[in-house]
Structure 1
Amino acid sequence: MKKQEVNVISKEHSKHTKLIRPAFGTFNRNEWAIVGAPCTVIKLLAGQLITALSADYKCAYVDTTHNDDIMLTPGRLANGAALEYTDQINYRQLNYAGEFNSFKLRDAFAEVDLVLVNGNHHQCKAQVVIISENKRASLQKRIDQLTNVQMILLTDNTDEVFDFIKDTVPNWQHLPLYRIDDIENITAFFKAQMQEAKPVINGLVLAGGKSQRMGFDKGAVNWHGKEQRYHMADLLKSFCNEVFISCRADQQQEIDSDYLSLPDTFTGLGPYGAILSAFREKPDNAWLVIACDLPLMDENALQYLVDNRNASSVATAYQSPVNEFPEPLITIWEPKSYPLLLSFLAQGYSCPRKVLINSDVTLLHSENPGALTNVNTIDELERVKRTLHQKLAAE
């Protein structure tokens, strides 16, 4: 009898919290292994593509050394150092002595937009296949790696796709097919793929604060005919795929059922925890995060933010008209900011502005700085009331 009870418990018990995992491959969300040609050809093609794409996207390249001789360990690693960092004139160099598994690789490549990989040495979740007669046998050996072929390239010595590729890739005849020197069309393919992969924007209205300085819930203030948290959510709907009101778990029952709510799962961290909670829920989406205490915020300010969004940055934010720092609570946070936010938290920081100041962000100057005015105290509330009354009177 006891044995049966133990078995029932073990079947129902879940050891780990079920989390939504980002759509990573080996290195990144957007990665392509180029396979089917000599390494020098792959490296040349990757170089041409990176030259063409780097104006719009942060690109990375992955390869393996081709020196068959025993390589000497560089610098102080030869003396037993585990890590060596060198600040070069035009770039920075970081040498590791340890192994890299997929977890470390994803962390290292988190802030780039796309990764091109020598598929002769590394696998990716998507592939570009080069049809080269002198690598036919090598490509055939890697046939099991061709799980998601997205483009086929022909070299000068080939005119047709190999039969074993036709047998392995069921949709091969519908894939883009170019000559390997047709850099213009190959580049256009990658640009189209990146545009398609651009994360959708969700909205997050921050309404989970305790409003201690104000003395009452700022999210419940009626500035525009409804509670401010709902007014802000309605403002975001035109710009976002979905809009959520961020709240504490004990507040969730208070939120109108006509609005989506998202309770904090990173508690005790204020807005920082709300942003992390949003990414935990949907890690592959961008989040337009906005505080509920911005009564002068309007559609024009949001439109300007969205129109000037740079998805290649960690975030797109307004520069504060008060202190010239980024405004973290009227910001589009890209998916690549999620591991960065966690990293800052692990180092003991829970200030979203500090993350923006120390990261690659796109800063915008507001065409209407007054729209960024937030209200934290009774005096500020009265000033904004007068501004709104004057605005209504002028209309």
Structure 2
Amino acid sequence: MTLKDNSIPLLNGLVLAGGRSKRMGSNKDLINWHGKEQRFFAADLLKTFCQHVFISCRQDQLAHVDPAYQALTDTFLDMGPFGGILSALRSDREKAWLVVACDLPLLDEDALRFLIANRKPGKVATTYESPFDGLPEPLITIWEPKSYAVALHALGEGATCPRKVLINADTHIVKPRNPDALLNVNTPDDAATAREIMQRTKGNPPSKNNRDGYAF
């Protein structure tokens, strides 16, 4: 990290769960991969690292969010994930936002810890390089406060893709140590792949005690 510790914006967490899951055929955020709905499992992961954690959702989903979790409804409508990210950045402009999608069933604490350990607060964002196409992965990214202005400018130019924002911004890109953790499950075939990986790695979970030299 390049800024003094007391000048580094604190992290809020955001789970993107407002999609309509058309390719999956059922709600991805409601899939039970780890003993609870994935949106809640992801929120629990973020709580280890973030001051406050929110579940990004549509207004019509709000009544179905467990009151033990904080919901954040979109104020930028009909923009998919970009709308959820913008809505979060608008809601608290002094915090950085650690954003994860609800369709990352293999995401774990180690992947989040490694991203945070490699965070560069002076950049617009810190993100992973996708192991599937080599491009920045916007749906597991730390969006710094300054990214709000950058994202708004992109929106004004007609862009509604968060990946394009990262490509064109001053983004710090990190190679993942465990590429499987970034597997997006968007289709039933993707889900089958995720289950295969889970079965193969069962009994060998990542250590929750390995802090990679990063103090929280």
TM-score by length of 1: 0.51
CA distance in 2, matches of 1:240, 1:340: 23
Are positions 1:308 and 2:93 aligned together?
no
1:176-221 deviation line (CA, Å, top 9, x unaligned): xxxxxxxxxxxxxxxxxx5323210000000000000001100000
Aligned pair partner of 1:250 in 60, 75, 95: 60
Corresponding residue number in structure 2 for 1:330: 140
Mapping of 1:140-289 within 5 angstroms? Answer: 194-289=4-99
By how many angstroms is 1:393 displaced? 5.2
| Aligned amino acid, residue 380 of structure 1 | D
Match of 1:65 in 2: none
Mean CA deviation greater in 310-319 or 380-389: 380-389
| Aligned equivalent of 1:340 | 150
Q: Could you tell me whether the CA contact under 8 Å between 2:82 and 2:162 is conserved in 1?
A: yes
Q: Deviations over 1:122-171 (max 9, x none)?
A: xxxxxxxxxxxxxxxxxxxxxxxxxxxxxxxxxxxxxxxxxxxxxxxxxx
Give distance in 1, aligned partners of 2:119 and 2:131: 19
Q: For structure 1, which runs of at least 5 residues remain unmatched after alignment?
A: 1-54, 58-193
CA distance in 2, matches of 1:392, 1:216: 25
Change (3 A) 1:56 1:389: closer
Q: CA deviation at 1:56?
A: 4.1
Distance across 1 between alignment mates of 2:175 and 2:141: 12
What is residue 389 of structure 1 aligned with on the other side?
Answer: 199
Q: Verify: 1:372 aligned to 2:182, yes or no.
A: yes
Q: Name stretches of at least 5 consecutive residues in structure 2 with no aligned partner.
A: 206-216
What letter corresponds to residue 95 of structure 2 in structure 1?
A: N
- In 2: Cα distance, 1:317 partner to 1:302 partner: 10
The yes-or-no answer on 1:356 pairing with 2:166 is yes
Q: How many residues of Structure 1 are paired with residues of Structure 2 in the alignment?
A: 205
> In the TM superposition, what is the alpha-carbon distance from 1:235 to its structure 2 partner?
0.5
SS at match of 2:63: helix
- TM-score, normalised by the number of residues in structure 2: 0.92
Where 2:196 maps in the other structure, the secondary structure is helix
Counterpart residue type for residue 177 of structure 2: E
Q: Whose radius of gyration is greater, 1 or 2?
A: 1
**Deviation per residue, 1:34-71 (Å, 9 max, x gap):** xxxxxxxxxxxxxxxxxxxxx946xxxxxxxxxxxxxx
Structure 1 residue 375 displacement after superposition: 0.3
**What is the percent sequence identity of the aligned residues?**
53
Task: Identify the structure with bigger relative contact order (alpha carbons < 8 Å, sequence gap 6+).
Answer: 2
Q: Partners of 1:257 and 1:369 in 2: how far apart? A: 33
> For residues 303 and 393 of structure 1, what CA distance do their matches in structure 2 show?
21
